[in-house]
Amino acid sequence: MNEVFDIILLLFLMFWLNMACAWMSQLVWLGINAFLFVHFYMAFLVEKWFYTRVLLGHALPWARAPAACLNFNCMLILLPVCRNLLSFLRGTIQCCSRTAARQLDRNITFHKMVAYMIAFHTAVHIIAHLFNFEYFMDGQLNRDGSPLTFVLSEIGGGDNASFLNPIRSNETNPTVVLFTTVAGLTGVAITLALILIITSSMEVIRRSYFEVFWYTHHLFVVFFVGLVFHGFGRIVRGQTATSLVADPPKDCAARFETWGSDGSNCTTPAFAGNPPMTWKWVVGPMILYVCERLVRFYRSHQKVVITKVVMHPSKTLELQMKRKGFHMEVGQYVFIQCPSVSGLEWHPFTLTSAPEEDYFSAHIRIVGDWTQALYEACVGDKTKPQEAWKLPKYDSGRGGGGGLGLKLQPCVYHVYTVCVQCVYHVYTLCAYLCIYSVCVPSSQIYFYWLCPETQAFEWFADLLQSLEGQMSEKGVTDFLSYNIYLTRWKETEAAHFRVHHEAENDPITGLKQKTLYGKPNWDHEFTNIASQHPGTKVGVFLCGPPQLGKSLEKQSLSHSEGDVKFIFNKENF
């Protein structure tokens, strides 16, 4: 039994060491949510809310506790998408803590987590308020029920200055109240906006119908406006402080039939709603986000010139561009917009050129509607060379109308680009890690490239051959160990591979190192690397599909044993 416990403890410590910083930040966030929920739940069990609970029971704290958590999470939801703020923070803390900087790379993951938490608390809040409306209606209509609930519902029947039950007439219903009150109308708007935002954010919609995702995601404006005004109706009311002192419920609740009569020590209690608090939580992030959008707007209106368009095999488009005053950094990415395709869509692409080049470039694989439209706008579908004037030109921002304008938003964001199935990122690996290895404190690089078709190797083989020659001349042939995997092939290709298998160079790439077929045995690869580099930290960098990311992350955790530690990183946009 003790041995089992020791093994479990060891595994837990290994996992904790790898994920401590990420888990710590998540635990702090979850802890704050739990604290706010419990704190505000208990806050609505005090004497001030005694008469409100007579009408609503425990549905009252169950509505107010998630509302507090909503305020907190709505304060956070905009911060992870403030790209320029994150770039500034990343640059500030990079020199102090790479681990902390790496947490900023998980900004979209955190954004999604906060969104899920908002959805959860919204659901609890709505369900609790549905019960509240039913209880309010029952207190107004059920004269044969509890006499106290009916008396409480009748308070403020004159000028309504001090009512407790917001349903003031017995000739109405919750639906009418829902659409004739500030809280009801804004609540409906918030809920509909949130449902559309979350459903359109599903990966299948986001990847296949990006414009649907983009447009509906901007319903966050409706969401936040509704959120700010949601509490202005003050529909949930408690006993005022003056009334609480003069007529404490513990003394007067049982004598409600004599409230205000001669000889009674208890008057009719007075009620008031809490002032709206949500705006205090969200106004700061809203201002930051407005500043973020202004910075993006300014940057997007600086002139960008396309100097060259290159079509690579496997429908990969290379754009070479220039912009005055722009100096790229290793690992940087940019957001690109083509107004003739869409005046609103911006898509991120890693820069694939070297810092000392007089241009900067991005490789774009044609995999969706927007990239296909960009491909056609750049006359990539033409078989003959085109005149320069036919290429997209800068659009000053007056709209997409007549031009094929290209706009740019650079982001100083050190993404990790290795181990790819995305063809257009392979160049980045060699440009950044091999040619400019002075920037990477590595003794050896293991490069794995998985690709389903032989055509994708064509335009990259020359670069690898050049690198082989350079490393041979410098006597550092072991610096880069590359492993190229072909994951799919045809029968005719297989016959060709068998015939030329014994040739000095690979029949597909022409390289000295032969192409491998199938997919890597990652368990074997990690074990082999760990045995060759004892007592070291091994960085695992990925640009590829989420499924591969999950697999490599698990391998990194399971093989971090003893003095070898694998640190998993992936490209995040």
pLDDT greater at residue 77 or residue 424: 77
pLDDT greater at residue 112 or residue 83: 112
pLDDT at 72: 95
Mean pLDDT of 243-267: 83
Q: Which of 129-133, 194-198, 235-239, 262-266 ranks highest by mean pLDDT?
A: 194-198
What is the reported pTM?
Answer: 0.74
pLDDT at 229: 93
| CA 520/CA 355 separation, integer angstroms | 32
Q: If pLDDT is split at 50, 70 and 90, which confidence band does 421 have? A: very low
pLDDT in tens, 317-363: 888 888 888 877 766 788 888 888 877 778 888 888 877 788 888 88
Percent share of the chain, pLDDT over 90? 22
pLDDT in tens, 164-195: 888 877 777 767 777 888 888 999 999 999 99
Mean pLDDT of 455-468: 68
User: Of 315, 281, 239, nearest to 53 (Cα)?
Assistant: 239
DSSP state for residue 47 in the 8-state scheme = G
C-alpha 187 chain-centroid distance: 24
pLDDT at 380: 65
| CA 520/CA 517 separation, integer angstroms | 9
| CA 215/CA 223 separation, integer angstroms | 14
Strand partners, 273: 237
Mean pLDDT of 245-268: 82
H/E element holding 454?
Answer: none
pLDDT at 439: 40
pLDDT greater at residue 488 or residue 79: 79
Q: If pLDDT is split at 50, 70 and 90, which confidence band does 147 have? A: confident
pLDDT at 317: 85
pLDDT greater at residue 476 or residue 376: 376
pLDDT at 220: 95
Q: If pLDDT is split at 50, 70 and 90, which confidence band does 568 have? A: confident
Tell me how far apart the terminal alpha carbons of the chain are, to the nearest angstrom. 46
Q: Which residues contact 562 (CB under 8 A, 6 or more apart)?
A: 534
List, in sequence order, the alpha helices (H) in 338-414: 369-377
| Residue-wise burial string across 82-112, b where 16 or more C-beta atoms lie within 10 A, e elsewhere | bbbbbbeebeeeeeeeeeebbbbbbbeebbe
Q: If pLDDT is split at 50, 70 and 90, which confidence band does 430 have? A: very low
Mean pLDDT of 69-96: 83
Mean pLDDT of 216-231: 94
Q: If pLDDT is split at 50, 70 and 90, which confidence band does 122 have? A: very high
Q: Which CATH code is given to the segment(s) 440-570?
A: 3.40.50.80
pLDDT in tens, 471-503: 777 777 777 787 888 887 766 666 556 655 666
Q: Which of 141-145, 214-218, 387-391, 466-470 ranks highest by mean pLDDT?
A: 214-218
- Token pair listed for 44: 């609505």
Tell me the pLDDT of the chain averaged across its residues.
77
pLDDT greater at residue 492 or residue 539: 539
Q: If pLDDT is split at 50, 70 and 90, which confidence band does 95 have? A: low
pLDDT at 34: 95
Percent share of the chain, pLDDT over 70? 73
pLDDT in tens, 391-411: 555 433 332 433 345 666 666
Q: Kindly tell me if the per-residue pLDDT of 1 is higher than 50.
A: no
Q: If pLDDT is split at 50, 70 and 90, which confidence band does 15 have? A: very low
pLDDT greater at residue 549 or residue 511: 549
Nearest 5°: the CA angle 386, 390, 393 is: 135
Instruction: Determine the longest span between alpha carbons in the chain, in angstroms.
Output: 111
Q: Kindly tell me if the per-residue pLDDT of 301 is higher than 60.
A: yes
Q: Report how far apart, in Å, the C-alpha atoms of 89 and of each of 84, 95, 412, 569 are.
A: 9, 11, 11, 19
Task: Indicate the fold that domain 301-382+391-411 takes in CATH.
Answer: Elongation Factor Tu (Ef-tu); domain 3 (2.40.30)
| Domain boundaries defined on the chain | 36-181+235-295, 301-382+391-411, 440-570
Q: If pLDDT is split at 50, 70 and 90, which confidence band does 423 have? A: very low
User: Of 491, 490, 483, 488, nearest to 509 (Cα)?
Assistant: 483
pLDDT in tens, 35-47: 999 999 999 999 9
The CB-side HSE value for 500 (13 A sphere, CA atoms) comes to: 17
Q: If pLDDT is split at 50, 70 and 90, which confidence band does 273 have? A: confident
pLDDT at 311: 80
Q: Are 426 and 348 in contact (CB under 8 A)?
A: no
| CA 417/CA 445 separation, integer angstroms | 13
